[in-house]
């Protein structure tokens, strides 16, 4: 009879295998013990680390503690107080629920637990290498202290793969930070090698907690708070102008549980498209509230990941929330102001670009007959605070979301809101910037960047709805292209058509253009098309933008007014209103700032008045 080749593993070996799934490194121990403390209702948690957790991890809390029978049972496999049946896994609110943390940790370390349900008599349990060696009585205050020493002392292979003290300590810091961000109601302190490295008091908001952890980093972030169906997305994201200036940080929580989720991060980053340069990534600190029946938390050994029933809807909700926050808060240093009612005496500014103008210098935007016109830099008769301008016409329509997957038709509400934008007195500097006084500062608007943003959002909305304005040419325009330019045209031909360019191959490397878009009267279609094709042909760098977004951004850049173009007062006013109607007015499609503010305090310091 042949010997059996399959055998049931001894419990000690099985415990160490299970520990490999739960306890990857010292930071895993800290995470599990922190979660146990939070599940026990702790409001004060002290963490002590020695040698990056390789020598010592101690977590002490003031939670409800355990009786002796529970304490001795807690170190057994699959012993838990969190669930009783498989159905309890649906909507489980506790951090732990499998009953694996303590036995897994105890199987690869020297672990000691001291716990009490009230001040006075407490229970001490000592486990070494998975074997319970001691159960006795000690004195302590209410709560629990778990001490873990000599991690992986009995598994040399695992011990060998631990990283250095500094690397392991950084991982523990990340774990502590995630816990501090997720549970802001808890007082959390940490000591490493005898030196206090964290002392966080309870915080009332995520911004306060971020300020306590990272200091001034909170100043560069805007608030996110949006509800989409049953999903709520809140938190903080980095202002586009500050992306890349400091270390990038990412924190995600789902129903209060810190998780890793690349899909959610990519969705949040997608909201930054056309606002930051390619290759830089923003800081994202987001909290998602999802119906418990729509998320499964039991899909990862360390509970670090979750599974959504409808991931696409969740990701779109995140992208929409972040984009809305960037649109309303990214230009926090300056906000377009509105009035409750539009004055009947206010001039009507029509920025419909296809009408009006002279052959010598056609106006970029046309004013209605009877509207008051002023030269650049001249005084007008409007009140000092500026006059409300009526809404522009179809030349620059407002958009709700420029992402192709989330473009929506403008409703009457945004139109009405944009119709009473208060336009301040504007002057043009160096034929490049529009300047005006606003509250406590001087504000500068880059006319090219502003017009670029307006055109980009108009093109994106038009491409989604198939209604980009196009003007037929009396005689076709023939362009002779280089091989790379012709290849770029052929690759983007359908998108050019959606943008309003009607063109077709005309033999060899030539194309015949029959119609072109008409974003404004100064638009040079031939120059724009040539420069766009040259840019597409010469750009071999990776881009985070989709093809249609990239093309719309390029055409907007090439078709916008340039630095050096003289704008009349009515043109500047119309451009100001059009910019106010965009979703993300603070940045152009390359991530550069459109609006810059110089405070009076800074000017007074420059002149020695402060």
Quick one: tokens of 328? 């309303």
How many independent structural domains does the chain possess?
4
Quick one: tokens of 49? 């680390």
pLDDT at residue number 374: 38
DSSP three-state, residue 325: helix
Quick one: DSSP state of residue 338?
B
What is the C-alpha separation between 215 and 207, in angstroms, rounded? 10
| Cβ-contact 407, 458 below 8 angstroms | no
Q: Tell whether 60 and 165 lie within a shared domain.
A: yes
Strand partners, 57: 49, 148
pTM of the model: 0.63
Asked whether residue 427 is domain-assigned, the answer is yes
Q: Tell whether 425 and 570 lie within a shared domain.
A: yes
pLDDT at residue number 343: 36
Asked whether residue 335 is domain-assigned, the answer is no
Asked whether residue 337 is domain-assigned, the answer is no
pLDDT at residue number 126: 94
Q: Tell whether 133 and 74 lie within a shared domain.
A: yes
Structural domain that includes position 48: 11-84+95-200
Asked whether residue 343 is domain-assigned, the answer is no
Asked whether residue 340 is domain-assigned, the answer is no
Please identify, among 200, 229, 255, the residue that sits at the C-terminal boundary of a domain.
200
Q: Tell whether 452 and 474 lie within a shared domain.
A: no
How crowded is residue 541: how many other Cβ atoms within 10 Å of its Cβ?
7
CATH number for position 113: 3.30.565.10
Q: Tell whether 114 and 216 lie within a shared domain.
A: no
CATH number for position 217: 3.30.230.10
Asked whether residue 100 is domain-assigned, the answer is yes
CATH number for position 443: 3.30.1540.20
Crossing angle (nearest 10°) for helices 483-491 and 525-538: 100
Q: Tell whether 242 and 212 lie within a shared domain.
A: yes
| Torsion sign over Cα 558, 564, 565, 570 | positive
pLDDT at residue number 602: 86
What is the C-alpha separation between 490 and 470, in angstroms, rounded? 20
Q: Tell whether 384 and 489 lie within a shared domain.
A: no
Q: Which residues of the chain have a pLDDT value below 50?
A: 331-332, 341-418, 542
pLDDT at residue number 536: 84
Please identify, among 172, 200, 228, the residue that sits at the C-terminal boundary of a domain.
200
Burial 16-29 (b: 16+ CB within 10 A, else e): bebbbebbbbbbbb
DSSP three-state, residue 214: helix
Quick one: tokens of 496? 């050019």
| Cβ-contact 284, 251 below 8 angstroms | yes
pLDDT at residue number 16: 56
Which residue spans within 349-432 are E strands per DSSP?
Answer: 349-350, 366-367, 387-389, 421-423, 427-429
Residue 212 CB partners (closer than 8 Å, separation 6+) = 200, 201, 203
| Cβ-contact 122, 115 below 8 angstroms | yes
Asked whether residue 5 is domain-assigned, the answer is no
CATH number for position 538: 3.30.1370.100
The pairing of beta strand 595-599 with beta strand 441-446: antiparallel
Q: Tell whether 237 and 316 lie within a shared domain.
A: yes
Backbone angles phi, psi at 139, to 5 degrees: -110, 140
Quick one: DSSP state of residue 468?
-
| Cβ-contact 419, 399 below 8 angstroms | no
Q: Tell whether 50 and 130 lie within a shared domain.
A: yes
The pairing of beta strand 187-192 with beta strand 44-50: parallel
Q: Tell whether 156 and 105 lie within a shared domain.
A: yes
Asked whether residue 339 is domain-assigned, the answer is no
Distances (CA, A) of 483 to 496, 528, 540: 18, 18, 15
Residue 380 CB partners (closer than 8 Å, separation 6+) = 372, 374, 387, 425, 569
What is the C-alpha separation between 456 and 579, in angstroms, rounded? 11
What is the C-alpha separation between 53 and 165, in angstroms, rounded? 8
Q: Tell whether 123 and 51 lie within a shared domain.
A: yes
Q: Tell whether 282 and 418 lie within a shared domain.
A: no
């Amino acid at each position: 009879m042949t010997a059996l080749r399959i055998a049931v593993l001894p419990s000690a070996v099985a415990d160490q295998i299970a520990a490999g799934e739960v306890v990857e490194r010292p930071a895993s121990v800290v995470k599990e013990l922190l979660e146990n403390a939070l599940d026990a209702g702790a409001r004060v948690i002290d963490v002590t680390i020695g040698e990056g957790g390789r020598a010592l991890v101690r977590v002490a809390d003031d939670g409800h503690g355990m009786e002796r029978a529970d304490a001795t049972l807690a170190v057994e496999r699959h012993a838990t107080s969190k669930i009783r049946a498989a159905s309890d896994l649906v909507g489980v609110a506790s951090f732990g629920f499998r009953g694996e943390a303590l036995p897994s940790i105890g199987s690869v370390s020297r672990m000691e637990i001291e716990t009490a349900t009230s001040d006075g008599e407490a229970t001490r349990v000592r486990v070494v290498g998975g074997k319970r060696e001691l159960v006795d009585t000690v004195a302590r205050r209410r709560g629990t202290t778990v001490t873990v020493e000599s991690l992986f002392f009995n598994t040399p292979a695992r011990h060998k793969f631990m990283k250095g003290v500094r690397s392991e300590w950084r991982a523990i810091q990340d774990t502590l930070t995630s816990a501090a961000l997720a549970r802001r109601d808890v007082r959390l302190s940490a000591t490493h090698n005898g030196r206090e490295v964290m002392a966080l008091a309870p915080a009332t908001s995520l911004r306060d907690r971020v300020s306590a952890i990272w200091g001034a980093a909170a100043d560069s972030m805007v608030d996110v708070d949006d509800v989409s169906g049953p999903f709520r997305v809140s938190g903080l994201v980095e202002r586009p102008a500050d992306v890349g200036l400091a270390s990038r940080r990412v924190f995600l929580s789902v129903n209060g549980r810190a998780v890793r989720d690349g899909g959610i991060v990519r969705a949040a980053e997608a909201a930054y498209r056309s606002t930051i340069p390619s290759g830089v990534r923003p800081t994202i600190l987001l909290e998602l509230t999802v119906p418990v029946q729509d998320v499964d938390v039991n899909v990862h050994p360390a509970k670090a990941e979750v599974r959504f029933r409808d991931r696409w809807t969740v990701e779109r909700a995140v992208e929409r929330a972040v984009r809305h926050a960037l649109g309303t808060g990214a230009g926090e240093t300056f906000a377009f102001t509105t009035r409750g009612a539009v004055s009947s005496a206010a001039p009507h500014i029509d920025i419909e670009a296809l009408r009006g103008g002279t052959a010598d210098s056609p106006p970029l935007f046309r004013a209605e007959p009877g509207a008051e016109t002023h030269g650049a830099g001249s005084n007008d008769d409007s009140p000092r605070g500026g006059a409300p301008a009526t809404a522009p016409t179809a030349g620059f329509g407002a958009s709700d979301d420029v992402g192709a997957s989330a473009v929506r038709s403008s409703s009457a509400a945004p139109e009405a809101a944009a119709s009473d934008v208060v336009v301040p007195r504007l002057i043009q500097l160096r034929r490049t910037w529009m300047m005006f006084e606003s509250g406590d500062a001087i504000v500068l608007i880059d006319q090219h960047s502003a017009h670029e943003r307006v055109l980009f959002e108009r093109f994106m909305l038009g491409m989604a709805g198939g209604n980009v304005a196009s003007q037929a040419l009396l005689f076709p325009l023939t362009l002779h292209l280089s091989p790379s330019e012709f290849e770029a045209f052929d690759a983007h031909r359908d998108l050019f058509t959606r943008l309003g360019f009607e063109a077709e191959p005309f033999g060899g490397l030539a194309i015949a253009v029959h119609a072109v878009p008409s974003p404004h009267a100064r638009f040079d279609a031939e120059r724009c098309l040539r420069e766009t094709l040259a840019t597409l042909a010469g750009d071999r760098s990776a881009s985070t933008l989709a093809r249609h977004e990239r093309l719309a951004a390029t055409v907007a850049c090439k078709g916008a007014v340039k630095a050096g173009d003289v704008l009349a007062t009515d043109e500047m006013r119309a451009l100001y209103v059009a910019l106010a109607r965009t979703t993300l007015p603070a940045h152009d499609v390359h991530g550069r700032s459109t609006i810059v503010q110089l405070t009076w305090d800074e000017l007074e310091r420059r002149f020695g008045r402060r």
